[in-house]
Amino acid sequence: MTETRILTGHLGKPFGLKGFIRLVAEDSSVPELKFPLQAVLEFPSRQPVPIKILKSSIQSGKILLQLEGINSPEEASSLTGGKLYIDRSHFPKSKNEEYYLFELKGLKAISEDGKELGWELVDILENPAHSILVFQTEDSEVLVPYVKKHVGKVLLEEGKIVLISPEDWNEI
């Protein structure tokens, strides 16, 4: 849970004429970071590329990044598909009972009495009413509403998340 480089998303299509590029985000907290900051782009077929993100903005619900040295849509399109990694130190410390997605991914589910459920938290889906935790079991996925009725404490240091009465809403 203590990785120093955080996968924050991948770069999408260019936006506008000044070289902005869309970020398909893993974590919606990117616009809240303090810019400028250093980051790394990784591609399957070439060496990692260090970049400097000058600023981030949101247009029509899309996260846009302005990168140093990228001044046209053509230059921006050469970076499309790159996975964006930002060092953990650029993210503010999470507040009480608020967590970044990267902090939660990989947590193991346990019941209130400490019984291991054999589930790993792999994703969080945003829903208008509340977030939904996606757990991977040995052979399927389990979706758990992220509400107090079903989710107890998040134990980051232990790498666990407590689920309340999972037998009430899912067969174990």
State the DSSP code for 78. Answer: T
Domains and CATH numbers, the chain: 5-90 (2.40.30.60), 101-169 (2.30.30.240)
pLDDT digits (tens, 9 = 90+) for 79-103: 999 999 999 899 888 777 788 888 8
Cα–Cα distance, 140 to 111 (Å, whole number): 18
Q: Residue 46: what are its φ and ψ, rounded to 5°?
A: -150, 170
* Burial class of 161 by CB neighbour count within 10 A (0 to 12, 13 to 18, 19+): buried
- Predicted TM-score of the model (pTM): 0.75
3 state DSSP class of 31: helix
Mean pLDDT for 49-56 is 96
Averaged pLDDT score across all residues of the chain = 90
Query: Above 90 in pLDDT, residue 56?
Result: yes
Question: For residue 106, what pLDDT is reported?
Answer: 95
Residue 34: CA atoms inside 13 Å, Cβ hemisphere, count? Answer: 6
pLDDT digits (tens, 9 = 90+) for 135-157: 999 988 999 999 999 999 999 99
pLDDT for the residue 1: 43
- The confidence score (pLDDT) of residue 29 equals 76
User: Which whole-number Å values give the CA distances from 141 to 31, 100, 135, in the listed order?
Assistant: 30, 21, 6
Q: With 60 as the cut, is the pLDDT of residue 172 above it?
A: no
Kindly state the DSSP code that residue 146 receives in the 8-state scheme. Answer: -
Q: Distance between CA 152 and CA 147 in Å, rounded?
A: 9
Number of residues written out for the chain: 172
The pLDDT-based confidence of 15 (bands split at 50, 70, 90) is very high
Is the pLDDT score of 70 beyond 60? Answer: yes
pLDDT of residue 66: 97
Order of strands, edge to edge, in the sheet holding 108-111?
A: 141-145, 132-136, 116-125, 108-111, 160-163, 151-155
Q: Is the distance from CB of 38 to CB of 52 less than 8 angstroms?
A: yes
pLDDT above 70 for 171: no
